[in-house]
Amino acid sequence: MSPSTSALILVSAVLLLSSATTSAYNVTLILEKYPDYTEFNNLLSKTGVADEINRRQTITVFALSNGHFGDISSKKDDVQKRIISTHVVLDYYDVTKLKQYNTSKGPLTTLFQTYGQAKGQQGFLNVVVKEGEVFLSSAVKGASMDTKVESSVASQPYNISILSISSPIVAPGIDGALSPASAKQPNAPSPAGEGPAAAEGPKQEEASAPGPEGDGGATADGSSELSPNANSAAVKQVMSGFGLIAAAASFVAGL
């Protein structure tokens, strides 16, 4: 085998390895099996939220069945994206885990929080368990608590959980006018530093098996900070990825 052929094989192997570790699931493919969720699935794809979900390792999606969108579909594209990303929580929750939700942990952190566009508590969801039923609302003060978690649609413990809900969760003010600059930058770093590097980095291995007490980074005081551990883990992953590529490069150089 010529040195250039083996170099090519090695490089391909490294590329294959890195792409194989980036996605444990494809939310679009999962939801395609459920005809009741075609509209929601289309909305996830259209807004690009599906791709962002697929880049994460532990995710909960609160899905709306066809015909339960209220007036979301009539809103502008960027508003639809903000609303849909508020239905995606950055941790794994099934119905059982939600029923045990300890409110002293503070609200759930959503994907919208990572965009750096959320005002106040718009990027967070409150959970209330009442008579064995789980209710959700925007964490914005005064938001109504009338969205009920109905049942599990699909899950791959502990990577992705898709739960059906009774009505859309629309944070007060989320469809208000944002400055065009911030509206055009879905990946703008949030004040917490959850920038594109962390958001798009390789998956975080240590987050793969949260127990009932697993914490998606929602801080007890509801601040906009994601868990510092999550960020540093992502950085470590990126660094080890570079190490692999550097090792491959020096191997190739030595041929």
Ligand X SMILES: *[C@@H]1O[C@H](CO)[C@@H](O)[C@H](O)[C@H]1NC(C)=O
Parallel/antiparallel/unpaired status of strands 88-89 and 108-109: unpaired
Binding of residue 56 to ligand X (CB under 6 A): no
Q: Which of 210, 214, 208 is nearest to 237 (CA)?
A: 208
Query: CB 87 → ligand X: shortest distance, Å?
Result: 18
Q: Two tokens at 54?
A: 């697929």
Stretch that binds ligand X, among 5-13, 21-29, 108-116, 120-128 (CB under 6 A): 21-29
Residue 119 to residue 172: CA distance in whole angstroms: 10
Binding of residue 208 to ligand X (CB under 6 A): yes
Site string for ligand X, 118-157 (x = CB under 6 A): --------------------------------------x-
Site string for ligand X, 152-181 (x = CB under 6 A): ----x--x----------------------
Nearer to ligand X, 44 or 64 (CB): 44
Residue 174 to residue 124: CA distance in whole angstroms: 12
CB atoms within 10 A of CB 114: 28
Stretch that binds ligand X, among 25-33, 65-73, 144-152, 238-246 (CB under 6 A): 25-33
Contact 37, 153 (CB under 8 A): yes
**233: three-class secondary structure by DSSP:** helix
Interface residue with ligand X among 24, 95, 129, 252 (CB under 6 A) is 24
Stretch that binds ligand X, among 26-34, 86-94, 107-115, 229-237 (CB under 6 A): 26-34
Q: Phi then psi for 215, rounded to 5 degrees?
A: -125, 120
Query: CB 254 → ligand X: shortest distance, Å?
Result: 31
Query: CB 105 → ligand X: shortest distance, Å?
Result: 7
Residue 45 to residue 27: CA distance in whole angstroms: 9
